[in-house]
Chain A
Amino acid sequence: MSEDQAVVTAVLAGEPGAFERLIQRHQALVWHMVYRMVAQPEDARELCQDVFLRVHDRLRQFRFESSLATWIGRVAFNVATRHLQKKKIAWVSADEDEGENSEYMRASDGFDLAEACADQELMRHMAAEIERLPALQRTLVTLYHLDELGIGDIAASTGLPEGTVKNYLFRARHRLRQQLETRLGVLA
């Protein structure tokens, strides 16, 4: 029996502590997905609770056709997007023009990666730039690089085609690099 099957069986059997274990295993992923989509900590915390309550209610419907993480991710993504729709907040950005500016200032030439990573100011600036990315881009880039989900898993969780996920990831990293170059240009 896989780990997913074991935990699902335990929760469905009403084993004490089983659902708490399930939450602990998946809460980071759910938090990253919901917080990156919604960007409001209080709302995101409430929504995370909703996600797990829904997971509990619908666990019988889980058919092991994907990993449990992917299935829970899908619930989280649906909860977050429904929240944004209810609040009439656009979560898909139409900023198609960002790829135009592919000529960099090359301000990063000769910069030291270790030194840059140790530069708290620069890392704070980059964190702020991540926050400024369109909701879907910052979510996908977080799921891919922080949660280390594969493209296929992200596509399954979000319902987006794999090519679209790759495209959003490319654009997010591209945009962040542009912001980095701009920042280094300012610092130089």
Chain B
Amino acid sequence: MNKFDATEREARLQAAAEQAERNDLPVGDAELDAYRLVIRAVREAAMPGLPEDFARRVSVRISPTADQASFEDGMVTLLLLGMALGGGGYFLPRFWPLLASLPLRLPTMNLPAVSWHWIVAAGLAISLAWLIDRFWHEHHGAMPA
């Protein structure tokens, strides 16, 4: 028997053994039974397992993390807000007259003068929109249409 025929024969034996196992057919063919034993050995092979409370342990690792993360997010937001307000409260009275006295005229375009506080306001608005978008993506996936 050449190699191809032998392989073909083995493949047929394996398929027949699988079928016999699935349908719980009677035993008796030694070659088939050898493959049936192989299949049973694979099914019954003892192997270590996961701890019984694996699912609970992993899910607990996620849930408190999520709660903790939202608490930490809140604290960081509060801190940043406090810093921004504090910084604004400290610097604005000092720099506002200076900023307001610096009119900006775009050199190549014949647009009316824009004072700095409009640019700051626009920057803040864009940043706020970006932060809201980022927050939404993190917590709710894509923005609803």
Partner of B37, one of A16, A23, A116: A116
**Cβ-defined contact, A23 with B58, below 8 A:** yes
For residue A145, which residues in chain B have a CB less than 8 angstroms away from its CB?
Answer: 39, 42-43
For residue B50, which residues in chain A have a CB less than 8 angstroms away from its CB?
Answer: 27, 31, 45, 48
- Chain B 30-54, CB within 8 Å of chain A: the 1/0 string? 1101111111111111111111001
* Interface residue? B27 (CB, 8 A): yes
**Cβ-defined contact, B45 with A126, below 8 A:** yes
* Interface residue? A159 (CB, 8 A): no
**Given A19-B62, A56-B62, A170-B11, CB of A48 within 8 Å of CB of B54:** yes
**Cβ-defined contact, A20 with B34, below 8 A:** no
Chain A interface SS verdict (over half): helix
**Cβ-defined contact, B38 with A126, below 8 A:** yes
**Cβ-defined contact, B58 with A52, below 8 A:** yes
* Interface residue? A152 (CB, 8 A): no
- Chain A 40-83, CB within 8 Å of chain B: the 1/0 string? 01000100110011001000100000000000000000000000
Determine the interface band of chain A, counting residues with CB < 8 A from chain B: 35 or more
* Interface residue? B94 (CB, 8 A): no
**Cβ-defined contact, B36 with A99, below 8 A:** no
For residue A41, which residues in chain B have a CB less than 8 angstroms away from its CB?
Answer: 48
For residue A20, which residues in chain B have a CB less than 8 angstroms away from its CB?
Answer: 55-56, 58-59
For residue B39, which residues in chain A have a CB less than 8 angstroms away from its CB?
Answer: 145, 173
Give Cα A47 to B42, complex, Å: 23
For residue A142, which residues in chain B have a CB less than 8 angstroms away from its CB?
Answer: 42
Partner of A108, one of B34, B48, B54: B34
**Given A102-B3, A108-B30, A110-B30, CB of A49 within 8 Å of CB of B45:** no
Shortest Cβ distance from A143 into chain B, in angstroms?
A: 10
Sample of 7 A–B contacts (CB below 8 Å)? A23-B59, A53-B62, A102-B6, A111-B34, A117-B44, A145-B39, A177-B35
